[in-house]
Amino acid sequence: MVDREEKYIGTISGKLMAYILLALGGVISLMPLYWLVLTSLRPAGAEFTYPPEWIPSSFHPENYGVAWNRAPFWLFTFNSILVTFLATLGTLLTASMAAYAFARIPFYGRNVWFALTLSTMMLPWAVTLIPRFLLFKYLSLLDSLWPLFLPFWFGGGAFYIFLVRQFIMTLPVEMEEAAVVDGASRLRIFLMITMPLTKPAIAAVGVFSFIQHWNDFMGPLIFTNSEESRTLALGLRYFGDEQFTEFRLIMAVATVMLVPVLVVFFAANKYFVSGVALSGLAGR
Protein backbone atom coordinates (compact mmCIF):
# COMPACT_ATOMS: atom_id res chain seq x y z
CA MET A 1 0.00 0.00 0.00
CA VAL A 2 2.34 2.72 -1.22
CA ASP A 3 0.86 6.13 -0.61
CA ARG A 4 3.98 8.22 -0.82
CA GLU A 5 3.51 11.98 -0.89
CA GLU A 6 5.36 12.63 -4.13
CA LYS A 7 3.21 10.18 -6.05
CA TYR A 8 -0.13 11.85 -5.37
CA ILE A 9 -2.05 13.11 -8.37
CA GLY A 10 -0.78 16.64 -8.99
CA THR A 11 -3.37 18.66 -10.89
CA ILE A 12 -6.41 20.19 -9.18
CA SER A 13 -8.81 18.96 -11.86
CA GLY A 14 -7.31 15.49 -11.64
CA LYS A 15 -7.79 15.46 -7.88
CA LEU A 16 -11.35 16.75 -8.18
CA MET A 17 -12.25 14.12 -10.75
CA ALA A 18 -10.72 11.39 -8.57
CA TYR A 19 -12.71 12.44 -5.52
CA ILE A 20 -15.97 12.75 -7.47
CA LEU A 21 -15.57 9.19 -8.78
CA LEU A 22 -14.54 7.84 -5.38
CA ALA A 23 -17.47 9.56 -3.68
CA LEU A 24 -19.90 8.22 -6.26
CA GLY A 25 -18.72 4.68 -5.55
CA GLY A 26 -18.98 5.39 -1.84
CA VAL A 27 -22.58 6.54 -2.16
CA ILE A 28 -23.52 3.43 -4.12
CA SER A 29 -21.78 1.25 -1.52
CA LEU A 30 -23.52 2.84 1.43
CA MET A 31 -26.94 3.75 0.02
CA PRO A 32 -28.48 0.26 0.50
CA LEU A 33 -27.22 0.20 4.08
CA TYR A 34 -28.68 3.63 4.74
CA TRP A 35 -31.96 2.30 3.34
CA LEU A 36 -31.64 -0.70 5.67
CA VAL A 37 -31.25 1.38 8.83
CA LEU A 38 -33.78 3.95 7.62
CA THR A 39 -36.44 1.28 7.10
CA SER A 40 -35.72 -0.30 10.49
CA LEU A 41 -36.58 2.98 12.22
CA ARG A 42 -39.80 3.83 10.40
CA PRO A 43 -43.23 3.72 12.06
CA ALA A 44 -45.42 0.65 11.52
CA GLY A 45 -46.85 0.57 8.04
CA ALA A 46 -44.86 3.59 6.93
CA GLU A 47 -42.50 1.50 4.86
CA PHE A 48 -45.38 1.19 2.44
CA THR A 49 -45.78 4.83 1.58
CA TYR A 50 -44.78 6.69 -1.51
CA PRO A 51 -42.68 8.72 -1.94
CA PRO A 52 -40.31 7.33 0.72
CA GLU A 53 -38.91 9.71 3.30
CA TRP A 54 -35.22 10.07 2.60
CA ILE A 55 -34.67 11.90 5.83
CA PRO A 56 -36.94 10.47 8.52
CA SER A 57 -39.25 12.86 10.37
CA SER A 58 -39.47 10.51 13.35
CA PHE A 59 -37.46 7.61 14.72
CA HIS A 60 -39.00 4.42 16.03
CA PRO A 61 -36.32 2.38 17.77
CA GLU A 62 -39.11 0.38 19.45
CA ASN A 63 -39.19 -1.62 16.20
CA TYR A 64 -36.08 -3.37 17.46
CA GLY A 65 -37.80 -4.52 20.64
CA VAL A 66 -40.88 -5.66 18.73
CA ALA A 67 -38.79 -7.60 16.21
CA TRP A 68 -36.60 -9.11 18.92
CA ASN A 69 -39.62 -10.52 20.74
CA ARG A 70 -41.09 -12.18 17.65
CA ALA A 71 -38.81 -15.17 18.05
CA PRO A 72 -36.26 -16.33 20.64
CA PHE A 73 -33.61 -14.07 19.19
CA TRP A 74 -31.50 -14.07 22.36
CA LEU A 75 -31.16 -17.82 21.99
CA PHE A 76 -30.34 -17.49 18.28
CA THR A 77 -27.70 -14.89 19.12
CA PHE A 78 -26.19 -17.14 21.77
CA ASN A 79 -26.08 -20.04 19.29
CA SER A 80 -24.47 -17.86 16.63
CA ILE A 81 -21.82 -16.66 19.07
CA LEU A 82 -21.10 -20.20 20.26
CA VAL A 83 -20.81 -21.65 16.74
CA THR A 84 -18.72 -18.75 15.49
CA PHE A 85 -16.38 -18.94 18.48
CA LEU A 86 -15.88 -22.72 18.40
CA ALA A 87 -15.51 -22.93 14.62
CA THR A 88 -13.03 -20.06 14.55
CA LEU A 89 -10.99 -21.51 17.41
CA GLY A 90 -10.76 -24.87 15.63
CA THR A 91 -9.87 -23.22 12.35
CA LEU A 92 -7.09 -21.11 13.88
CA LEU A 93 -5.52 -24.06 15.68
CA THR A 94 -5.70 -26.78 13.05
CA ALA A 95 -5.19 -24.60 9.97
CA SER A 96 -2.00 -23.12 11.38
CA MET A 97 -0.76 -26.61 12.31
CA ALA A 98 -1.18 -27.81 8.75
CA ALA A 99 0.22 -24.53 7.42
CA TYR A 100 3.31 -24.92 9.59
CA ALA A 101 3.86 -28.46 8.35
CA PHE A 102 3.51 -27.32 4.73
CA ALA A 103 5.84 -24.38 5.21
CA ARG A 104 8.53 -25.84 7.44
CA ILE A 105 8.56 -29.61 7.81
CA PRO A 106 9.99 -31.55 4.85
CA PHE A 107 7.86 -34.64 5.39
CA TYR A 108 7.34 -37.41 2.85
CA GLY A 109 4.61 -36.60 0.32
CA ARG A 110 4.34 -32.96 1.29
CA ASN A 111 3.93 -31.67 -2.27
CA VAL A 112 1.22 -34.20 -3.07
CA TRP A 113 -0.71 -33.21 0.03
CA PHE A 114 -0.28 -29.55 -0.80
CA ALA A 115 -1.65 -30.05 -4.31
CA LEU A 116 -4.58 -32.02 -2.89
CA THR A 117 -5.25 -29.31 -0.35
CA LEU A 118 -5.32 -26.60 -3.00
CA SER A 119 -7.54 -28.68 -5.25
CA THR A 120 -10.24 -28.83 -2.57
CA MET A 121 -10.73 -25.10 -3.07
CA MET A 122 -12.13 -25.88 -6.51
CA LEU A 123 -14.45 -28.58 -5.25
CA PRO A 124 -18.11 -27.57 -5.30
CA TRP A 125 -19.42 -28.01 -1.76
CA ALA A 126 -22.79 -29.03 -3.19
CA VAL A 127 -21.30 -32.43 -4.10
CA THR A 128 -20.52 -33.33 -0.51
CA LEU A 129 -23.64 -31.80 0.98
CA ILE A 130 -25.93 -34.83 1.06
CA PRO A 131 -23.34 -37.33 2.37
CA ARG A 132 -22.32 -34.84 5.06
CA PHE A 133 -25.94 -34.57 6.08
CA LEU A 134 -26.20 -38.35 6.22
CA LEU A 135 -22.91 -38.59 8.13
CA PHE A 136 -24.17 -36.29 10.87
CA LYS A 137 -27.49 -38.10 10.86
CA TYR A 138 -25.60 -41.37 11.38
CA LEU A 139 -23.67 -39.77 14.25
CA SER A 140 -26.99 -38.55 15.73
CA LEU A 141 -25.67 -34.99 15.65
CA LEU A 142 -28.36 -33.53 13.39
CA ASP A 143 -30.34 -30.67 14.86
CA SER A 144 -27.51 -29.70 17.17
CA LEU A 145 -24.76 -27.14 16.84
CA TRP A 146 -22.09 -29.82 16.34
CA PRO A 147 -22.24 -30.05 12.53
CA LEU A 148 -21.75 -26.30 12.37
CA PHE A 149 -18.37 -26.22 14.09
CA LEU A 150 -16.98 -29.76 14.32
CA PRO A 151 -15.75 -29.96 10.67
CA PHE A 152 -13.71 -26.82 11.25
CA TRP A 153 -11.58 -28.55 13.88
CA PHE A 154 -10.09 -30.51 10.99
CA GLY A 155 -7.97 -27.95 9.20
CA GLY A 156 -10.62 -25.27 8.85
CA GLY A 157 -10.42 -25.16 5.07
CA ALA A 158 -7.80 -25.08 2.35
CA PHE A 159 -8.00 -21.32 1.90
CA TYR A 160 -6.99 -20.65 5.49
CA ILE A 161 -4.19 -23.22 5.44
CA PHE A 162 -2.89 -21.68 2.24
CA LEU A 163 -3.06 -18.14 3.63
CA VAL A 164 -1.12 -18.98 6.79
CA ARG A 165 1.36 -21.14 4.87
CA GLN A 166 2.10 -18.28 2.46
CA PHE A 167 2.75 -16.02 5.42
CA ILE A 168 5.05 -18.47 7.22
CA MET A 169 7.02 -18.86 3.98
CA THR A 170 7.88 -15.15 4.15
CA LEU A 171 9.34 -15.45 7.67
CA PRO A 172 13.10 -15.92 8.10
CA VAL A 173 13.94 -19.49 8.98
CA GLU A 174 17.08 -18.78 11.03
CA MET A 175 15.43 -18.52 14.44
CA GLU A 176 13.70 -21.86 13.99
CA GLU A 177 16.90 -23.50 12.79
CA ALA A 178 18.75 -22.21 15.83
CA ALA A 179 16.04 -23.68 18.02
CA VAL A 180 16.37 -27.02 16.21
CA VAL A 181 20.09 -27.02 16.93
CA ASP A 182 19.32 -26.28 20.57
CA GLY A 183 17.20 -29.42 20.59
CA ALA A 184 13.77 -27.82 20.84
CA SER A 185 10.90 -30.00 19.73
CA ARG A 186 8.77 -29.17 16.70
CA LEU A 187 5.80 -28.46 18.89
CA ARG A 188 7.80 -26.01 21.00
CA ILE A 189 9.15 -24.24 17.94
CA PHE A 190 5.66 -24.04 16.46
CA LEU A 191 4.09 -22.66 19.62
CA MET A 192 6.89 -20.45 20.94
CA ILE A 193 8.56 -19.11 17.78
CA THR A 194 6.49 -19.49 14.63
CA MET A 195 3.02 -18.78 15.99
CA PRO A 196 3.89 -15.46 17.65
CA LEU A 197 5.47 -14.29 14.39
CA THR A 198 2.44 -15.39 12.39
CA LYS A 199 0.01 -13.10 14.26
CA PRO A 200 -0.99 -10.97 11.25
CA ALA A 201 -2.00 -14.02 9.22
CA ILE A 202 -3.75 -15.57 12.21
CA ALA A 203 -5.65 -12.34 12.72
CA ALA A 204 -6.72 -12.31 9.06
CA VAL A 205 -7.92 -15.91 9.28
CA GLY A 206 -9.73 -15.11 12.51
CA VAL A 207 -11.64 -12.26 10.93
CA PHE A 208 -12.50 -14.23 7.79
CA SER A 209 -13.64 -17.19 9.84
CA PHE A 210 -15.70 -15.01 12.19
CA ILE A 211 -17.55 -13.45 9.30
CA GLN A 212 -17.95 -16.76 7.48
CA HIS A 213 -19.59 -18.48 10.44
CA TRP A 214 -21.57 -15.53 11.72
CA ASN A 215 -23.07 -15.10 8.25
CA ASP A 216 -23.45 -18.80 7.40
CA PHE A 217 -26.93 -19.61 6.22
CA MET A 218 -26.71 -22.92 4.37
CA GLY A 219 -25.12 -24.86 7.26
CA PRO A 220 -27.84 -24.11 9.82
CA LEU A 221 -30.50 -24.57 7.15
CA ILE A 222 -29.35 -28.08 6.31
CA PHE A 223 -28.19 -29.36 9.68
CA THR A 224 -30.59 -27.83 12.19
CA ASN A 225 -34.31 -28.09 12.52
CA SER A 226 -35.70 -27.12 15.89
CA GLU A 227 -35.78 -23.67 17.39
CA GLU A 228 -33.22 -24.56 20.08
CA SER A 229 -30.41 -24.97 17.56
CA ARG A 230 -31.17 -22.08 15.22
CA THR A 231 -28.67 -19.34 14.59
CA LEU A 232 -29.32 -15.69 13.91
CA ALA A 233 -28.90 -16.04 10.13
CA LEU A 234 -31.66 -18.62 10.05
CA GLY A 235 -33.77 -16.72 12.59
CA LEU A 236 -34.17 -13.93 10.09
CA ARG A 237 -36.38 -16.22 8.06
CA TYR A 238 -39.07 -15.99 10.73
CA PHE A 239 -40.22 -12.87 8.99
CA GLY A 240 -39.67 -14.11 5.47
CA ASP A 241 -42.46 -16.64 5.72
CA GLU A 242 -44.95 -13.84 6.12
CA GLN A 243 -44.45 -12.87 2.48
CA PHE A 244 -42.30 -9.89 3.25
CA THR A 245 -44.97 -7.84 4.95
CA GLU A 246 -43.00 -6.45 7.84
CA PHE A 247 -39.91 -5.01 6.31
CA ARG A 248 -39.16 -2.63 9.15
CA LEU A 249 -38.87 -5.58 11.56
CA ILE A 250 -36.75 -7.65 9.18
CA MET A 251 -34.47 -4.69 8.62
CA ALA A 252 -34.19 -4.18 12.39
CA VAL A 253 -32.93 -7.73 12.96
CA ALA A 254 -30.70 -7.49 9.88
CA THR A 255 -29.17 -4.32 11.31
CA VAL A 256 -28.51 -6.06 14.63
CA MET A 257 -26.89 -8.94 12.77
CA LEU A 258 -24.73 -6.57 10.77
CA VAL A 259 -23.33 -4.63 13.75
CA PRO A 260 -20.89 -7.25 15.13
CA VAL A 261 -19.58 -7.90 11.63
CA LEU A 262 -18.91 -4.22 11.08
CA VAL A 263 -17.25 -3.88 14.49
CA VAL A 264 -14.90 -6.78 13.76
CA PHE A 265 -14.30 -5.51 10.25
CA PHE A 266 -13.36 -2.01 11.39
CA ALA A 267 -11.26 -3.28 14.28
CA ALA A 268 -9.27 -5.65 12.10
CA ASN A 269 -9.50 -3.83 8.80
CA LYS A 270 -5.77 -3.85 8.08
CA TYR A 271 -5.46 -7.61 8.65
CA PHE A 272 -8.50 -8.19 6.52
CA VAL A 273 -7.25 -6.42 3.46
CA SER A 274 -3.71 -7.73 3.80
CA GLY A 275 -5.15 -11.22 4.14
CA VAL A 276 -7.03 -10.98 0.88
CA ALA A 277 -3.98 -9.47 -0.74
CA LEU A 278 -1.86 -12.36 0.48
CA SER A 279 -4.28 -14.90 -0.92
CA GLY A 280 -4.46 -12.92 -4.15
CA LEU A 281 -0.81 -13.64 -4.69
CA ALA A 282 -1.92 -17.22 -5.29
CA GLY A 283 -2.43 -16.57 -8.96
CA ARG A 284 0.82 -14.77 -9.51
Partner 1 sequence: MADAVPLGVSSPVPGKKPRWSRKVKADNVAGYLFMAPWIIGFLAFTVGPMLASGYLSLTKYSGFGAIKWVGFENYDKIFQDDLFYTALYNTSYYAFLGVPAQLLVALCLAVLLNMKVRYVNVFRTVYYIPTVTPAVANVFLWVWIFNFDFGLINSLLRLIGISPVNWLWDPQIVKPALILMSLWSVGQQMVIFLAALQGVSEELLEAASIDGATNFRRFLRITVPLISPVIFLNLIIGIINLFQTFTVAFIATRGGPINSSLFYVLYIYRKGFESFSMGYASGLAWILFMIILVITGIQFYFARNWVYYESGGPPS
Q: Does 153 bind partner 1 (CB under 8 A)?
A: yes
Number of amino acids touching partner 1 (CB under 8 A): 108
Q: Does 263 bind partner 1 (CB under 8 A)?
A: no
CB 167 within 8 A of CB 201: yes
Q: Does 254 bind partner 1 (CB under 8 A)?
A: yes
For 163, 197, 198, 199, the CA distances from 271, given in Å and listed in that order, are 12, 14, 12, 10
List binders of partner 1 among 181-210 (CB under 8 A): 186, 190
List binders of partner 1 among 113-142 (CB under 8 A): 113-117, 120-135, 137
CB 275 within 8 A of CB 208: yes
Separation of alpha carbons 46 and 79, rounded Å: 33
Output 69 or 216, the one with its CB closest to partner 1.
216
- Binds partner 1 (CB under 8 A): choice among 70, 75, 184, 237: 237
Q: Does 271 bind partner 1 (CB under 8 A)?
A: no
Q: Does 81 bind partner 1 (CB under 8 A)?
A: no
Output 178 or 276, the one with its CB closest to partner 1.
276
Cα 65 to the center of its chain, rounded Å: 27
SS3 51: coil
- Binds partner 1 (CB under 8 A): choice among 7, 57, 174, 196: 7
Nearest to 163, CA basis, from 95, 111, 94: 95
Shortest approach of partner 1 to residue 122 CB, angstroms?
6
Q: Does 35 bind partner 1 (CB under 8 A)?
A: yes
Separation of alpha carbons 207 and 108, rounded Å: 33
Shortest approach of partner 1 to residue 176 CB, angstroms?
12
- List % helix, strand, coil for the chain (3-state, nearest 5): 75, 0, 25
- Binds partner 1 (CB under 8 A): choice among 211, 219, 229, 271: 211
